[in-house]
Structure 1
Amino acid sequence: MSEALDHVDRMVELVRSGELSAFVRRAHDYEPADLADVLSALDDDERVTAVQALPPELSSQALAEMPEEAHAEDTLAALDPGRAAEIVEELEDDDAADILGELDPIKQERILAAIEHRAEVDTLLRYDEETAGGRMTTHLVSVRDTATAAEALDEIRRQAEQVEEFYQVFVVDGDRRLVGILPFKDLVVSHPERQIREFMADADISVPPDLDQEEVARLMARYNLPSVAVVDEAGRLLGRVTFDDVIDVVEAETTEDMLKFGGVSPDEELGGSWTEAVRSRLPWLSINLITASLAGGVVFLFQDTVQRTVMLAVWMPVIAGMGGNAGTQALAVTVRRLALGLIPRDLFFQVVRKEVLVGLTNGLALGAVVGILAALTGEQARLGLVVFLAMSGNLLVAGFAGGFIPVLLDRMGVDPAIASSIFVTAFTDVCGFLLLLGLAGWLLL
């Protein structure tokens, strides 16, 4: 890792010192992802200078590999439209659409106007970037279902010159409807005059262009597909989504879910300024303040109980904290299962039942420990019983909340990753204080 960082630092220093010839010469030895790290480490103006110095075939590959927060689109927009068009023409059409799609319409059109063959990119720009259509490339290899094995091989060789990488050969009819997938092994060993429709595999799996990218990724992972065909309502082949695009989808969706789970807006950029972070997080903290006030209200209602049994103040954060942790555990498992599509409607109550049983069992075990400690350290032995019951009950409640709330929100069309944690934490805090202070008022006073 340190050696890779040294290489990045050396390349950055070449740009900053104006040694662009040496920079370009060394850039030819870099993988696109490594060159993207170099560009990402540069300031905006320096990045534009570096991209202008690089040949279009190198700069295009590096821009395509740059992380989202580095804003490759801004670098492209800062170039002369002619130069930007040269770079875009070197990009795969899906990468070009991804980058240009981040620009405002005026800047986008200025670059597109300078591109000689813009139809493919225009087509992809019509789709939402988080759908199969937005992720697909129109560059693929396809053959007619009437072809022989020899004709198919000739056609594959011809098309392969225009397609950088392909993992499947799609078979289409005269109206370009997808009718099958051509197995490479069968194609190679078949008699040259054999019709490919005799040995092609059925095209059982395809996706519409408006399908969410997360569903596409889940489908490809489930069936171990190197690529999946995108077809319109009539079954006509529009393009394909490849596994490298799916890797990007999984990374993006996982990052988004992690940020949401922590109460951070997915729009917050990891490399953004502290003021942007404040604007992103303050609204969620404000909502959390309101829910936390509910727990404070419970303590206020039982203030006489707390004043008369001071040892309760020792156990209040323990009961609330353990409930919050148990709820977060149940919540994390449930949200993940929802994200993977593993909770059909008929299993809803089974999921909640499991989390309740887990919470109750853990509550009884941990409640026994803290109950004994409370009995030994408190002024009244019955304090141990109060703490035991409160801990057991709150972890049971936490299991219920962590299993029920995210599924309920999902059924209501609300993203459970972004809203569940606030409600689960508030629920366990309120119930924990109610159980501890209510039982204390009943059994101790």
Structure 2
Amino acid sequence: MYEISWLVVSAMPFISALVERSWLGPATLLAAVMSASVIGTTLFAPEYSMTADGLMIVSVFLITTLLGSTVGYFAVPISPRATKITNFELRRGQLYILGYVSAVAGLLITLQTTGTSFVQLLSPSGLMSIAQQITQERYTAGLGLPMTYNVANSLLLTYAIVLGVTLGLGFKHAWWAYVPILIFWFGNIIITTRAPIIFSASIVAFAFIYGKAIVNNKFAPIKLWNARVLLTLILGGAGVLGLFYFVQTLRFGESGARDAAEVLQHLRKWPFGSLPSFSMWWEGWSGRVETPFGYYTFTGILDNLGIAERVKGGFDEYVALAAGERGNVYTIFRGLIMDFGFTGAGVFCFLLGALGGVAYKGMRRGRLMMFSLYTAIICFMLWSFVISFFSFTSHIACFVLGPLALKYFAKRHVSSQRVAPKLNVATI
């Protein structure tokens, strides 16, 4: 039974890719993430225990998402719209102002809340000392960042998603257009939070892919074994691993006695411990839920509304993965089940798949303004092995504000002189 469940989860991305005709379809990406996790766990963490029942539950949700994506793609009519280089240019100056103001505001709020001065950050030892101190505070009393911090992050991510899609559309941005994102990353390095860095990079990347597809009209399936795709995946994986190693080293502090092997062993539970953790949780779950409806999937919203406080690390319950290794990462499926019940979690996957199918069809049909919906769902699928992408209020805000911001920063070109690249405003 275990072997069958393992094979189903492993084979699902190839089945989904045949149906969606691309590796960029929502159900395919979700299946690819779970397949990589189950195969990677078998190869690199064989002592982590996965159960047949746990993997079968995952496969049920993967199939449900694929069904939803298929219905969304084929049942919702979206007429083709050719995108032409005509009557559209970008208010770059105002866009960059949004990026710099939101990034600097977020950094200043971070420094003020943590009591950090710029002088302390000028030396590596000072940065490591501050990072260790903030980490201890964050995991004990909490940082207590104000609401203005969330607002600044929401505007920064809105800037990031607009930057990404316009870059894909062919607009050239000066090097200093990327500085606000680097400032945002630096602010998160100070407080040793890794997720916002890789999440923001994902938003830019998939918005870029959407814009690129709109302009080039290249809707053919992406070949997984293409050399460029493989190189991108390898470099991206190496970058994430390097970031995790660097931030984890900062957390241990300058006096930390752990070597590289210990740090890497500590980190492997994030990509390879999620399915084993989910399996063990599922085997022991009593069916009892004491959190508000939708808590784990939309934690940020409930936290900001004062309904329920966010749990540090997503879940406060740890399971023993192996000797000396504990984990609290259970994939999105534990949260969905606890939020909506098993049947409700299936309905959620179906509906999210359906919305993803609609957005993916919009990309294939040249509908520019669906870029935000597509990016939101694809990012949710990409990080499904860790946490709900919608549990961060700033993510939801940027996906809502993204189309409005693009609509604002895209203006009609009224003079006779053509400014390239331009897009037809009617397509926006």
The TM-score normalised by the length of structure 2 is: 0.25
Q: Structure with the greater relative contact order (CA < 8 A, sep ≥ 6): 1 or 2?
A: 2
**Which of structures 1 and 2 has the bigger CA Rg?**
1
